[in-house]
Amino acid sequence: MVILLLTVVKDMQVDSHGLWVKFGENRATNVSIKGCKNVDDFIKAVKKELTPLLDAFSIADITLSATEGGDSLRTGLKLNELTSISDYPGSNDLNPLFISILRSESNGNFIINSS
């Protein structure tokens, strides 16, 4: 299973140890995929890597998208299935996954702070 994941990641033009992510105006950074099977696992790794930047947000509020302002990736999507997303160009510092924050207001409405 690990060999398959590393092969797919290599085909996605990423470092075999991680995927590139970008939050807001911050620079893109590479986050390790070690121990990550799906997007939910990877979001947890992103939150740890981007401490203290994401400390104020719960895991449930953090989403990833293949394009800036694009649809959120399903949390259950396996990392080796990222290539099945039509608008995903592969992950590198020029084409990172984009981090967005879904926050709840006191009235129960949601607002999205896109990257």
- Distance between CA 103 and CA 58 in Å, rounded? 9
Beta bridge partners of 23: 99
CATH class of 2-113: alpha beta
The pLDDT score that the predictor gives to residue 9 is: 37
* 72 three-class SS: strand
Write down the residue that tokens 């694009």 correspond to: 70
Tell whether the model's pLDDT for residue 8 goes beyond 90: no
The pLDDT score that the predictor gives to residue 105 is: 57
State which amino acid sits at residue 113: N
Taking residues 3-25, report their average pLDDT. 58
In angstroms, the Cα distances linking 6 to 9, 56, 73, 81, 88 are: 5, 32, 20, 12, 18
Q: In the chain, what are the domain boundaries?
A: 2-113
| pLDDT per position as a tens digit, 63-112 | 999 999 999 999 999 998 988 887 788 888 999 999 999 875 554 444 54
The percentage of the chain sitting over the pLDDT mark of 70, rounded to a whole number, equals 76
Taking residues 14-35, report their average pLDDT. 88
Residues 6+ apart with CB under 8 A from 90: 12, 13, 14, 83
